[in-house]
C-alpha cells in the first residue's frame, strides 16, 4: 500500500504574517490531499487514468491544480472531476486555521481529560470561539511566543475581559469561568504547542503536521489502512522534513519526501488539494455573506461535484460545526448537474438542521485518544 500527499493553502506555522494577519486573503483553510493505492495494479490503474487525462488536454510534465482553475481549462477540470476522481483513491483533510487555534486555546483552558470526557461540549465551545474576532487569536499567538507565567496570566485576564460576540460575556462562558479559576489558584497551566514542543527551530502552531497525523488516524481507524504496511510519500517541505519524521518515529511511520516533478501521484495529490480548497473557499465565502444563490455559483457547483464524486466519508472536516454541516447541504442541493440548485434551494434549512443534529451525535460519540 502507498499514500501520496500534497498541500494547499500554505500556512507552515500559524503566526501573524507581515501584515499582522493569521492567514493570507482567501487562505483561511489548509487542505491536505492524499492519493491511496492498495497495490501495484491499483497504482498503475490510477496512473493510467491521470496520464490519459493529461494527454487528452495536452498537458506536458507537471500540472498544478491552480492551472485547472483557470477559465481556459474549464473542460479539463470537468473531465478531471468526472473521470480521474473516484470514491476509492482520494482523501482530504480540511483544516480551518482559526479553528485549529481555537482548539489549542480550548486544550489550554479545559485540558485533555475534559476533551476526552466532554467531547461534544469541548468542540461546541471551540466552534463558537472560532467565530470570534481575529484579535483574540493574535493575542494567543503573542502569549505563546513569550511562553512565560506572565504571558499566560495576561492571556487569561484577556480571555475574561474579551468582548465576545458568539459566547456569553459572563461565567456561563466556560472560557471565562475556567480562566478565573486558573487565576484564583495561580495555576497558569501550559500552552499545548509552543516552540519548545518542536525539535526544529522557529516551529510553532504547525497545522500541516497535525493535519497529516489526523489523516493517518482516520485512514487507520475508519478505512482499515495498516500504516505499518504503507509507504508514505509527501511533496518536499524544506525545513520541516526532519520535524515530521522525528514526530512520527515513535509510531514507526516514515515519511518519504520527494520532488513532485518526479512523482506523478504526488502531482495528483496537489491537483485535488488545490482544486478542492479553491472551490471550498469560494463557495463558503458566498454562504457566509448570504449570497450563495447569486455569487460564486461555478465554484460551489464544482465543489459539490467533487464531494459527490469522492464521498464525504473521505473528507475530514476540522472546522466550526456549522462549516462542517455545509458540505453535506451543498452536496444534496447542488448535486452533480449544473443548475440543479435552483429546484433544491428551498430545502436548505431543513437539510442544515438535519445534518447538524447528525454531526453533533457523531462528535459526541467520537474517540479523541485513538492510537496511531
Average pLDDT, the chain: 92
Q: Is residue 85 a contact partner of residue 294, using CB atoms and an 8 Å limit?
A: no
Average of per-residue pLDDT across 317-341: 95
Q: So what's the pLDDT on residue 23? A: 77
Q: Are strands 29-37 and 90-96 parallel, antiparallel or unpaired?
A: antiparallel
Q: What is the DSSP letter of 69?
A: T
Burial of 41 (0-12, 13-18, 19+ CB in 10 A): exposed
Q: What is the largest CA-CA distance in the chain?
A: 68
d(CA 119, CA 204): 25
DSSP letters for 20-67: S-SS-TT-SEEEEEEEEESSHHHHHHHHHHHHHHHHHTT--S---HHH
Q: So what's the pLDDT on residue 208? A: 87
DSSP letters for 81-112: IIII--SSSEEEEEEEHHHHHHHHHHHHHH-H
Sketch the domain layout of the chain as residue ranges: 2-96+205-299
> Cβ of 367: how many Cβ atoms within 10 Å?
9
pLDDT of residue 358 exceeding 80: yes
Q: So what's the pLDDT on residue 5? A: 97
DSSP letters for 110-164: H-HHHHHHSHHHHHHHHHHHTTS-HHHHHHHHHHHHH-SHHHHHHHHHHHHH---
Cβ within 8 Å of residue 367, ≥6 positions away:
none
How many CA atoms lie less than 13 Å away from 145 in the CB half-sphere?
11
Residues 247-273: pLDDT tens digits?
A: 898 889 999 999 999 999 999 999 999
Average of per-residue pLDDT across 313-325: 97
> For the domain with range 2-96+205-299, which CATH number is right: 3.40.50.880, 3.40.190.10, 3.40.640.10, 3.30.420.10?
3.30.420.10
Q: So what's the pLDDT on residue 206? A: 73
Give all strands of the β-sheet with 315-318 in edge-to-edge order: 255-258, 231-235, 2-8, 29-37, 90-96, 315-318
Q: Are strands 255-258 and 90-96 parallel, antiparallel or unpaired?
A: unpaired
pLDDT of residue 195 exceeding 80: no
Q: What is the DSSP letter of 293?
A: T
Q: How far is CA 26 from CA 94, 111, 132, 246, 284, in A?
A: 14, 32, 18, 32, 11
Which of 22-26, 150-154, 199-203 is modeled with the greatest confidence?
Answer: 150-154
| Residue 32 β-bridge partners | 7, 93
Q: So what's the pLDDT on residue 75? A: 96
Q: So what's the pLDDT on residue 9? A: 78
Q: So what's the pLDDT on residue 341? A: 95
pLDDT of residue 194 exceeding 70: no
Q: So what's the pLDDT on residue 242? A: 84
How many CA atoms lie less than 13 Å away from 71 in the CB half-sphere?
0
Amino acid at each position: 500500500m502507498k499514500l501520496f500527499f500534497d498541500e494547499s493553502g500554505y500556512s507552515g506555522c500559524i503566526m501573524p504574517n507581515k501584515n499582522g494577519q493569521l492567514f493570507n486573503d482567501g487562505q483561511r483553510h489548509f487542505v491536505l490531499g492524499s492519493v491511496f493505492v492498495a497495490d501495484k495494479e491499483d497504482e498503475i490503474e490510477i496512473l493510467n487514468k491521470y496520464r490519459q487525462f493529461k494527454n487528452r488536454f495536452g498537458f506536458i510534465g507537471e500540472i498544478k491544480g491552480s492551472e485547472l482553475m483557470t477559465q481556459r481549462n474549464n473542460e479539463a477540470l470537468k473531465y478531471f472531476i468526472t473521470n480521474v476522481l473516484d470514491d476509492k483513491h482520494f482523501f482530504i483533510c480540511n483544516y480551518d486555521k482559526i479553528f485549529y487555534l481555537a482548539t489549542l486555546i480550548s486544550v489550554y483552558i479545559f485540558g485533555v481529560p475534559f476533551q476526552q470526557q466532554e467531547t461534544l461540549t469541548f468542540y461546541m465551545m471551540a466552534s463558537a470561539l472560532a467565530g470570534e474576532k481575529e484579535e483574540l487569536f493574535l493575542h494567543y499567538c503573542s502569549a505563546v511566543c513569550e511562553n512565560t507565567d506572565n504571558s499566560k496570566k495576561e492571556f487569561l485576564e484577556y480571555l475574561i475581559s474579551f468582548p465576545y460576540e458568539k459566547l456569553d460575556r459572563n461565567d456561563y462562558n466556560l472560557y471565562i469561568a475556567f480562566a478565573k479559576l486558573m487565576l484564583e489558584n495561580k495555576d497558569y497551566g501550559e500552552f499545548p504547542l509552543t516552540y519548545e514542543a518542536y525539535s526544529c527551530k522557529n516551529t510553532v502552531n504547525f497545522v500541516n503536521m497535525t493535519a497529516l497525523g489526523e489523516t493517518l488516524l482516520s485512514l487507520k481507524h475508519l478505512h482499515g489502512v495498516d500504516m505499518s504496511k504503507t509507504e508514505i510519500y509527501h511533496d518536499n517541505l524544506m525545513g520541516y522534513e526532519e520535524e515530521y519524521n522525528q514526530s512520527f518515529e515513535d509510531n514507526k511511520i516514515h515519511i518519504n519526501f520527494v520532488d513532485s516533478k518526479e512523482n506523478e501521484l504526488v502531482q495528483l495529490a496537489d491537483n485535488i488539494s488545490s482544486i478542492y480548497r479553491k472551490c471550498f473557499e469560494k463557495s463558503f465565502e458566498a454562504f457566509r455573506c448570504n449570497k450563495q444563490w447569486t455569487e460564486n455559483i461555478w465554484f460551489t457547483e464544482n465543489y459539490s461535484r467533487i464531494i459527490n464524486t469522492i464521498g464525504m466519508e473521505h473528507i475530514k472536516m476540522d472546522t466550526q460545526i456549522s462549516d462542517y454541516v455545509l458540505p453535506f447541504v451543498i452536496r444534496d442541493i447542488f448535486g452533480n448537474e449544473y443548475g440543479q440548485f435552483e429546484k433544491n434551494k428551498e430545502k436548505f434549512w431543513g437539510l442544515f438542521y438535519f445534518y447538524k443534529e447528525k454531526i453533533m451525535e457523531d462528535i459526541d460519540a467520537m474517540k479523541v485518544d485513538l492510537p496511531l
